Amino acid sequence: MPNKDISHLTADLEQDIIRLKGKVASAMVQDLQASGPWWTGNFATSWKISETPVDPVKKSRKREEIKDGGIADFDAPLHWQDKGEDGMSGSTYDQIRKSRSLPGRKKPKKVPLEKDLYIGNEAEYAGFAVNNPGATAPVGDAAGITYYEHSRLVNEITPPSKNPDWYKVYMQTEQYNDAISLALAETFKAKNISFAADY
């Protein structure tokens, strides 16, 4: 009976799990980018994989340009709304949306097993975009409104699901299991190990 050296099995498995952890995070970010809102692209590109909690402090360069009147045809305040024949046609955030061109998948981050790995969005209005309770942005009202309130003012919001609670749905229905399945397949494909997930 042939023998197989498994003296390095523990170390090999540890490296596989480290790779798996990074790939799960990378796949989840890609999911969140595809599932969430899209205005200038700043929010979608602000998802970050980090060894420490991610703080929402990043300003949108394009929003700052609009605010300063630096982008032609979009020099109104960010809370301005155009009134067409059908009433409110949307805030400037929605009007500047030209196309939804998602960024490429982030390179997996290799972090030791004993260290934490966080996924967060560093856009300063991230709480608004995921419809956190009480989180507001100056969209439709200079004083600020929630994303749910925003969804009631405009014809259509930008998450593919058209649901202001898109993030809550993603987490509560465990849609991240798709990211886990993808990462498992990528990590162990060279070892001819199959993971058939049925969630």
Q: Which has more pLDDT, 45 or 98?
A: 45
pTM attached to this predicted model: 0.75
Location of structure tokens 């975009």: 129
Residue 14 CB coordination number (10 Å): 12
- Residue 12, pLDDT > 70, answer yes
Location of structure tokens 């991610």: 54
Measured CA to CA, the distance from residue 88 to residue 153 in angstroms comes to 7
Whether 124 contacts 135, CB under 8 Å = no
Q: What residue ranges do the domains of the chain occupy?
A: 10-96+112-191
- Residue 24, pLDDT > 90, answer yes
Amino acid letter, 59: K
Residue 87's pLDDT is 44
- Residue 2, pLDDT > 70, answer no
